[in-house]
Chain A
Amino acid sequence: MGHLDYALLFIQTLNGLQLGLLLFLVASGLTLVFGILDFVNLAHGSLYMLGAFVCASLTFLVGNFLIAILLALPITALIGYGVERTIARALYTRDHLDQVLGTFGLILVLDTLAHLIWGPAGIAIPLPAWLDGQIELLPGVVIPVFRVLIIVIGLLTALGLMWLVNFTRLGMLIRAGASNRTMVAALGIDIQTLFALVFALGATLAGLAGMLVAPITEASIGMGNNVIITAFVVIIVGGIGSMKGAFVGAMLIGLIDTLGRSFIDDAFKLFMEAEAAESAGPAVSAMLIYIIMAGVLAFRPQGLFPPKVR
């Protein structure tokens, strides 16, 4: 690798930031549900998928992607509420393993449901022309407009969540529930409604992530199954139940994964044969996030920013 290309480094950092924010949207919902409800929801990724599909169908119906997002968000919240009432509520008191089995089954059901409704092929979402172009942020730094939109929406959502969790009554109940659920119930708070709200909020966040990713890739069956694994890695690294942990974890994972994919093979070429570097590079960059997770579990198993637990 010759001189360090600062424009490329900046672009890759922005790409990493964008990936991190998408991961944060998924992980924040997951950490809320796992942290407060103590509920392992593998089907969280299916809510991500359903959000994408609903938005895709609405975009074709309404003709405008942004309006479709605004309409799809409450629909996803409703779906999340439906899942909470029918499936999650029955499993709260059960063992984590039962929850894993139950929600795994839910993934299969939702995948097949999506197959029945939308067919096996993915749906590509058309964007309006102004979102399809590029923007030059700095000289030599050209980025697709849509990615900037993802970063903007991601940051706004993160700020909104931070305000919600730290400065509202609901947020106070959420933080209390993450610390000590039994005490919150004992203090007379309506746990049922709180849980339903948190679950629906988590579903909406996951759905929003799906809606933002679908115009780049496509809305397809099983798209959530891969992102859920990365989301679990994020919340393990960040600390379960902690919004701050989810944010830092997501940014860390997003940046490391992207920068790894961008620069590892060049780094390897410094001390390896080109052919070996080309095989080892992609393999190592795929493993990086799991190596980090293993490291966190080994040295700080409660995560980087665990919620204060009494």
Chain B
Amino acid sequence: MKKLVSAALAASMLTGVAWADSVKVGFVTTLTTPAAVIGNDMKNAVDLAVEHMGGKMGNLDLELIYGDDGFAPDTGKQATDKLVKQDDVDFVAGYIWSHVLLASRKSALDAGKFLISANAGPSPVAGKLCHENFFSTSWQNDQTPMAMGEVLNQNGVKSIYLMAPNYAAGKNMVSGVERTFKGEIKGKDLTKWGADAQLDFSAELAKAKASGAEAIWVFYPGAAAGAFIKQYHQAGLKDVMPLYTSFTVDAISLPKLQAANFESVLGSRITQQWDPSLDNAANKKFVSDFKAKYGAYPSFYAAQSYDAMMLIKSAVEAVGGNMDDKDGIRAALKAANYDSVRGKYSYGNNNMPIQNFYLREVVADADGNWTTKVVATVYENHQDPYAAECALK
């Protein structure tokens, strides 16, 4: 009996061998821990992308394998190792968190795989650690807060208090704002981050208020977003210290904030390279199909993940499904010749997008659901500040 079972298993594994008519994509995101809300949004977008492309990239069948990074660098690296070594994927994509990406990138790149970041953009991967097989469909961490600094200057804000979590991306975000903001930084707080992140900001909010800063800027992705906004609202700071945020208020946190009636968030301002209201055909289709399928607006994480899948598809189609033509795939990825939901963009020497950044405001849509809309364009064709540090031409 045992021999029969082993033989059957061996036979089934033989049929699972990757023939030349399928392309394998590994997608690493956070599927456990409270941060899984982001991972699920990305997964929804990727599933929608697979549906839109009919499960095929060109004439190849798409085999999609998800990996869970558990919001920890070592788990993310293990997930990447499995995709690269055991599943032998052609493309590795995903990565919400900068510290997970930094820990995992070597596993994918050293094995000659193409690595597409659909979110994380720590400065090393755009600068000294840039690599010809690494591409981003998001941004470099400093860019979005740099746009925010510019907005603060335009709004005549003279002093600000900064708060962010104490990890790679938090520090990038803070340095991004500091790069462009011309006023005085009254104080800075980097709070404890990780699986047991600090979620009670009473001490820091008291410090912020006491500092006398005109406004407060924060970067608190994931679960911390709701917690911060709640406490900001309960501290009654809306009229005392207007709130500017980066990657804190998004389509994931807004429904929860609306359900709990935290009106302080309406009218707050965000900068991003994408918004659900952007007027191009690809975005309209993406947003309406996402809403129809999942009952909520997609977040920027979702938009970037959708773009990552479409970018990979464009490269596979450009080489006619010949996965051995690495140079051809690389050139096709670099050309970014696909309909991105943010509109047309190009890649710089470090394979980071050169793109527009918009000022968005939190509003209620025609159905009364809280979402965002574009108010102005802050930067046109903006390139990240680390491109010069990259050795690639």
Contact = CB atoms under 8 A, between A and B. Distances in A.
Interface of A: 5, 7-8, 11-12, 15-16, 18-19, 120-127, 132-134, 142, 144-147, 213, 215-218, 220-223, 225-226, 229, 258, 261-262, 265, 278-279, 282-283, 286
B243 to A, nearest CB: 16
B210 A5 contact: yes
Contact of A8 (B40, B206, B227): B206
Interface stretch (B185-193, B272-280, B306-314, B383-391): B185-193
A262 B207 contact: yes
A7 B190 CA distance: 23
B189 to A, nearest CB: 8
A78 to B, nearest CB: 26
Consensus secondary structure, chain A interface: helix
Interface residues of B, number: 38
Given A262-B207, A282-B190, A216 B36 contact: no
Nearest to A111: B32
Interface in B217-232: 223, 226-227, 230-231
26 contacts: A7-B210, A15-B206, A18-B202, A120-B40, A121-B34, A121-B252, A122-B34, A122-B226, A122-B256, A124-B226, A124-B256, A124-B260, A126-B261, A133-B236, A134-B235, A144-B236, A146-B234, A147-B202, A147-B234, A216-B231, A218-B230, A218-B256, A221-B33, A226-B195, A262-B207, A278-B188
Contacts of A122: 34, 37, 223, 226, 256
Contacts of B256: 121-124, 218
B292 interface: no
Contact of B234 (A132, A222, A258): A132
Contact of B34 (A144, A222, A262): A222
Contacts of A142: 209, 235-236
B199 interface: yes
Contacts of B234: 127, 132-134, 144-147, 216
Given A7-B210, A18-B202, A218-B223, A124 B230 contact: yes
A229 B223 contact: no
B236 A11 contact: no
Nearest to A220: B34
Interface centre among B204, B207, B234 (most CB of A within 10 A): B234
Question: 5 shortest A-B CB distances, which residue pairs?
Answer: A226-B196, A124-B260, A144-B234, A217-B227, A217-B199
Contact of B260 (A126, A213, A229): A126
